Structure formats: structure tokens, C-alpha cells
Chain A
Amino acid sequence: MSLDTVAIAQLTPEVQQPFAQLGLQPDEYARIKEILGRRPTSSELAMYSVMWSEHCSYKSSKVHLKQFGDKAPKSDALLVGIGENAGVVDVGQGYAVTFKIESHNHPSFVEPYQGAATGIGGIVRDILTMGARPIAVMDPLRFGPADASDTRRVLPGIVAGIGGYGNCLGLPNIGGEIVFDKTYAGNPLVNALCVGVMKHSDIKLAKAAGAGNLVVLFGAKTGGDGIGGVSVLASETFGTGGSTKRPSVQVGDPFVEKILIECSLEIFAEDLVVGIQDLGGAGLSCATSELASGGSGGMKVALDKVPLRDPSLSPEEILMSESQERMCAIVEPHKLARFLEICEKWDVTVTAIGEVTDGERLEITWNGEIIVDVPPRTVAHEGPVYNRPLAQPTYINEVNSQKVRVPIPSSANEIKSVVLKLASSPNLADKSWVTSQYDKYVQGNTIQSQPDDSGMVRIDEKTHLGIAISTDANANWSYLNPYEGAKLALAEAARNIATAGARPLAVTNCLNFGSPEDSGVMWQFAESVRGLADGCLEMGLPITGGNVSFYNQTGDTAILPTPVIGVLGVIQDVRTRTPMSFDVAGLNLYLLGDTYEDLAGSEWAFMHDERVGQSPIADLAREMRLIELLLEGHNEELFVAAHDLSQGGLSAGLTEMVLRYSTGATIVLSNVGIDLISESPGRVIIAIKVEKSDALNALAAKHSITLTKLGTTGGDSLVINDCVISLQELSTAHTSTFPKLFG
């Protein structure tokens, strides 16, 4: 194909362009022509098509996401908010922490290992570009039924990819989730979270200010990886047809990324960059247009200077390539020499490809000919915005009006059977088969990781300041009531870090949904966003950023609405953290919170294929009182252990606690059936020394939280009323599921 330049485009308005194949709508194409006053060149079309894709432009979600700003609670902790690569939070002692989740769902379905690996790579670079040293990753995952053949294909590949890339980078994997549901068959969710730490003064932003400053590309060479990945892959539903649209897969190289991290941090430390951006989805198109519009707007780039792995790439392909491990920096000319020196030291390929101008246009040339001449804001930020129709789907009233019908255990045998079934169900079973493939302790700062309630890492080795993170989503509740579901997930994530004694500080999210062109899905999305925004406002937790992944569906079947919420908190001294379980006998066990007949959306209902009823209503005021109680109890060293109750209710919570350190418990329950399987939110099991009972009673009364004595610790069985389950039997049930399924 011959080169399509701006000059040619002006002379040949009649040329037919494949905008539809690139994922653009006719009116979007018309708008591009209107912006430019001519037809776009093929390179411009490539840029607009990737940047205006759902994945990059948030065109369907923008109108809703606005609420995160509008309803933002006042917070002194937030140093950098939504809009940058990742938000930054003040955690005290001069430290700032940045964290973010992103989805890599579709690439991970196509090529599980590389899809998941590059998902980790991408989010790590996002954190790096803020100026932070990445210190840990987490990954919430969703798969089709555990025994489905496609799950057996994608799960081992995804897990190996996360482990392979993360372990090579030397980043501990401190948690996540694995949930199975038939709606994720053919559309697994791979969300990756990364957290990084820096000093306040080290924060870097994505902007290209100062005419004459240089645009410098560094990192891996550009190849044909994932071309069109953004527009064709992430924004269209998989057909049943198969391979015709399959783009070339991005392959990650964690060792190059590791070098890129060290090289970038050295460059940051010497203050050699004005602005920086990583190359992720939409590659150079995204980096150049976002950097330019972050500054005054003017930038000139000579695309032919981009170092190529495959010399046959056309300019359009170079602009769209999603080759991994690349970064783009804005560097003042007098600092370039030092910049190049550092890159040479680390053996990182580096090229100045352009400069910032005082104009307002992004101009890209190919061997001297102008192939792109656009106002960068129209590419990066002023894409189409859709107020898509939304309507409450008919299933909502139908399922909400029905009652969950499941067997309720009462006899000793029934209790035993329920506890063992829950312990071994794939969603609740021991996940060591997966997490043992991840390096959880590298760097030596990991305090907590799976199966603890949250991941916790130390960030200062002298003061023992630490941070804790938990990610949660209960898609079953979100399906029944997306508004409450989002609030409940937020509350759960916050609770999960408070049990250890960390104070919740900030929120990130990854919103995984079906097609936004389906009004029912759009309603689920809008309700989830509204719920999350209201919840964050009420709990006083700012949202620092997030990610939206639409088009998660196979044919007409959308996935369950899956808003994954991540909450980050801070703990002053990690040595004081409250563990999730106990290893001594003779402690008293208590339940904090109220248990109602909340069976809708529960694991027990899920196991009986009962996807009906009404989700619990989130009582965030009570959740906040519970969190305050937990933090106060932690400060007073009241608790020996604290463990959040969520999926699987008290049955799963007790199972996890007694198996953690192989110390049994004897429990007496008055309403044993419901008590065991209900998943009422806002509940925590705590273990205390007997002599602390009065103090605990006083604390619970002070925060108006219901306190119920459950029993005592000790022995080698879990005893519930007259039902005795040996820890060995319970452990076998809990730990054999994954090895049996995935070998």
C-alpha cells in the first residue's frame, strides 16, 4: 500500500476508507471528517479508530463515571485523582501509594498465558509511570464452570502467565479472587491490580509541556503485536466463527520489563523527565495524543525513527502496535544526554522521535511527509460520548419476587454434609493450587497474602508502616441488585482490610460488564456505578481511578455484572496486624454483626442453581461502625484473630479459620441452619482471650454492633452443636478440589 499523506487526503476526498472494519460507526467517521475538514489519512483513521474504541475512550461509560468525581468525598489523602495513569494516595511518613486494577479479559481468552502475562505487564507500567516503584500485584479472576473443558484450557494458562510474568519481575502476588460461574465460560475475566510506592515529591504526570522538549521512546522495539487489539478485540463480541479476526498476540518479556522498571526509576530519581506515559492499549497513538493533550497540544513526531522489530510494518501499524515493554517520555534537551546514558547502562533501546511544539496540533511524519495532523485532544479526550439507552431488564422483577429454595440443614449429619460441601465447592475451596504458583514473599515485605482476608506489605522497614489491599465483587448480588451489589462489594473490601487493623483509605475499581449496546446491561452498569459512587461518598473513601471492560459476553449471554472493587488501607505497624486465625486453644470466639435469612446470592443457593431472591441491602453506616470497632480493638490489642465472613457465610469462615493453623473450635448455634449458610453482610468472627470479654462487650456496645458468642477454640475437630467434623476430613474436602480439577 502506498503512503497516504495529508496532502493526498486533501486531494482525494472520494477515497473509500475501511472505517467500519476498524470499528468506527458512520457518524463517528463523519465526525472525524468534520474535525479535520477533510478525510482522515489512513494513519489518522488508525489513530482515531483505536482511541475512539470503547476500551480507550470510555464512550459508553463516561456519562456515568462522572459521578465518581461529582460525588467524591472530601479527602486529604488523595494526591492525584482520576484521569492520570493511576491515582495517588498519601499514606503518611512522606510516602505516597498508587494502585490500580485493569482488565485483560479478551486477550486472555485468545491466548491465556500471554494474555494474562501482558495484563500484569501493562498494569505494572501504569504504576511505574506515576513515578512509583511497583511493590506487589493481585489478580481477581473469573472463569466458566470449574469442570468445563474450556476452563481447563484457560485457567492453567492464565495462572501460569500471571505467575510467569509477575515472578520474573520479582513482584509478590498478594491476593485476588477466583470465582467460577457459567456466564464466564468463553469469557474469563482477568483483572490485574498493581500497587507501587514513592515519596510525595516523586509523582510524575502524563503531560508534554514546554516547546522544544523532546519526545523520547524507550524500551522494547515495536513489532506487529496486537495490532487492532484495542478496536477489534476489546470492543467487539466474540463471534462463533473463530479465527478470521484474531489479531496477532502480544508477547511479554518480563526481563525487559524488569530492566525498564529499574531504568525508569533511575531516570526519575535524577529528575530527567517532564512527563511520562507507558505504551499500553493503542500504543503510540495513545501515548503521543495523551501526552500532547496533557500539555499545550503541540507535538511533532517522526514515526520513521521508531525502532522496529519487524521492518515491514507500515506507519498505520506502528501507530496501532501494542508491543509490550515500551515507554514514552518528555525530556528537556539539556537532559537528553544523561537520559541516553542511563538507558545505555541498562541496555534499553532509546530514541528521540520528536519534540513538543508551541502549536496545538499533533503532527506525525513518515520520511518527511506529513501523515497525521490532528488536534490531539480530539483523539485522546474528545472522543464520542454515548448516552446509551438503559432499561431495567425484565429478569430483575422476576427473580426478586421469588424466594430461594434450598435445603436447610438441622441434624448433625446434614450440618456435616453442608459444611463439607461448601468447603469443597470450587468457589470456596482452598486456592493453594493457584497461589502456590505465584511468588508471594519475594522482596521480603509480604505480611499477608492468600488465604488471608487482605494482602499486606510493609513499605518502610524502619517504622514498619504498611499497606493492605483487598479486592472483592459478589456478582451474584450484583445480578439480583446491581446498586446494592456494588455497595456491598465496597463494604466487603473495606472490611477485609479492617479485620487486620488497616484503615481503609482509597478505592479503585474494574467494572466488568456485557455489551453496552444491550439496554439491560447498560442499566446494570449505571446502577453499579451509582451504587459505588454513593457508597464511596457515604464511607468517605475517594475513588482514585479504575477501568471499564465492556463486551464481556459470548453470543447473547452477558457475564454477570462484575464490578471488582479494590480498597487500599494503611496500617501504622505491620507487626501489630491481627491475623485471620488462631493457633491456641481456650480462646473465645464471637460473631460481630447480625445474621438474617440472607440466602439470595449465597454460595449455597448458587450450588443449588437458585439465582433468585433479593440481595441484602447495604447498611454502610453500620459497616463503618464495624470498621471503627475493628480498628479500635486492634489498637487496644483486643483481638487474637479476626476474619471477615462473606461467600459461604459462617460455615466457610469457620472452615478457613480452623484449617489455617490446624486448631479446631467448638461452636454452639441457636438457629444452626440459617446461621451456617446465610451470607448477611457486615459480619466478622473474632477470637479473644477469655479475660478480654468485658472489654469486647463494652466496645461492641459503644459502636452499636451486635455481639454473639459462638464458642471456644481448641481440639482437632470443628464441632458445631452435636456435629463433629475432624480437621483432617475438613482439610481433605477443602484442599482436594483444585488438584482434582486441574491436576
Chain B
Amino acid sequence: MAIIVVDVMLKPEILDPQGNAVASALPRLGFTFARSVRQGKRFEIEVEGEPTPDQFAEVEKAAEVLLSNPVIETYAVRVEK
């Protein structure tokens, strides 16, 4: 069994209201380390056995079609053992 991870992030030029909210909440709670925060989402997709290149390609396609909105987001697909 392996897990294919898809990380989805807003493109850098796109405004991220959620990230901004987190960034402004941090100092209120005493955390002063952050210059800025970008918030994304992560999908963990479980597959049987070792993922094949075909499977991987299919997940990439799903990432483009469903998991991300390619107009405003980027995605990265990787296998986690």
C-alpha cells in the first residue's frame, strides 16, 4: 500500500485571504516569526501496492481536473511510502 499525496496551493500572484487571516492571527497569539502565510490543501490518496506510472499519471490528471482549480491554483503530486 502506498499513499499518493497531492499538494494544492494558490498560485503565488493570487490573493490568499485565508493565509492572510492566519498571518494576522499569529502575532496576536504571540507568534512573531511569520512574514507571510500561504494556506493550501493536501490530499492523501491510498492505492493498492506500489503505484504504477499509469496510476500516477491518472492522479495527476485528477489533480488537474478535480482536486485543483488550475486557473488559480498549482498542484504537486508525489508518492509517500
Contact = CB atoms under 8 A, between A and B. Distances in A.
B69 interface: yes
A220 B24 CA distance: 14
Contact of B13 (A246, A255, A256, A310): A310
Contact of A251 (B12, B21, B72): B72
Contact of B72 (A249, A255, A323): A249
B16 to A, nearest CB: 8
Interface string A250-264: 111101100000000
B27 interface: no
Contacts, number: 39
Contacts of B71: 110-111, 246, 249
Contacts of A593: none
A111 B17 contact: no
B81 to A, nearest CB: 35
A248 interface: yes
Nearest to A250: B15
A111 B69 contact: yes
B10 to A, nearest CB: 8
Nearest to A113: B69
Contacts of A223: 13, 15
Interface in B14-39: 14-17, 20-21, 24
Contacts of A114: 72
A225 interface: yes
A111 B13 contact: no
Contacts of B14: 225, 248-249, 251
A318 to B, nearest CB: 13
B72 A111 contact: yes
Contacts of B16: 251
Contacts of B15: 220, 223, 225, 250-253, 309, 323-324
B13 A224 contact: yes
B25 to A, nearest CB: 12
Given A111-B69, A111-B71, A246-B71, A225 B13 contact: yes
A309 B16 CA distance: 10
Given A110-B71, A111-B71, A248 B17 contact: no
- Main secondary structure on chain B at its contact with chain A? loop
B11 A248 contact: yes
Interface string B37-81: 000000000000000000000000000000001011000000000
Of A225, A249, A252, A323, chain B has the most CB atoms within 10 Å of the CB of A249
B57 to A, nearest CB: 21
B44 to A, nearest CB: 25
Interface residues of A, number: 21
A280 to B, nearest CB: 16
Contacts of A246: 71
How extensive is the interface on chain B, given as a class? 10 to 19
A251 B69 contact: no
A623 B48 CA distance: 70
Contacts of B21: 255
Nearest to B15: A251
A35 B15 CA distance: 37
A437 B56 CA distance: 37
A256 B72 contact: no
A562 B11 CA distance: 35
B17 A253 contact: yes
A681 B34 CA distance: 63
B38 to A, nearest CB: 12
Nearest to B16: A251
B71 to A, nearest CB: 5
Contacts of B11: 248
A255 B16 CA distance: 12
A356 B21 CA distance: 35
Interface string A693-705: 0000000000000
B69 A256 contact: no
A504 B24 CA distance: 47
Contacts of A310: 12-13
B15 to A, nearest CB: 4
Nearest to B10: A251
Contacts of A249: 14, 71-72
Nearest to A246: B71
B30 to A, nearest CB: 18
Contacts of B17: 251, 253, 255-256
Contacts of A347: 24
Nearest to A223: B15
A220 B69 CA distance: 24
B7 to A, nearest CB: 19
Interface string A594-608: 000000000000000
B35 to A, nearest CB: 11
Contacts of B72: 111, 114, 249, 251
Nearest to B36: A309
Contacts of B24: 347
Nearest to B12: A310
Nearest to B11: A248
A323 B13 CA distance: 11
A249 B11 CA distance: 10
Contacts of B69: 111
Nearest to B20: A253
Of A110, A309, A323, A347, chain B has the most CB atoms within 10 Å of the CB of A309
A47 to B, nearest CB: 21
Nearest to A114: B72
Interface in A230-288: 246, 248-253, 255-256
Contacts of A255: 17, 21
A667 B71 CA distance: 53
A251 B11 CA distance: 11
Interface in A327-368: 347
A310 B12 CA distance: 9
Of B10, B12, B69, B71, chain A has the most CB atoms within 10 Å of the CB of B71
18 contacts: A111-B71, A223-B13, A223-B15, A224-B13, A225-B13, A225-B14, A246-B71, A248-B11, A248-B13, A249-B72, A251-B10, A251-B14, A251-B15, A253-B20, A255-B21, A310-B12, A310-B13, A324-B15
Given A223-B15, A248-B13, A310-B12, 20 more contacts: A110-B71, A111-B72, A220-B15, A223-B13, A224-B13, A225-B13, A246-B71, A248-B14, A249-B14, A249-B72, A250-B15, A251-B16, A252-B15, A253-B15, A255-B17, A255-B21, A256-B17, A309-B15, A310-B13, A324-B15
Interface of A: 110-111, 114, 220, 223-225, 246, 248-253, 255-256, 309-310, 323-324, 347
Q: Which 10 A-B pairs have the closest CB atoms?
A: A253-B17, A224-B13, A251-B15, A111-B71, A248-B13, A249-B72, A251-B14, A249-B71, A223-B15, A310-B13
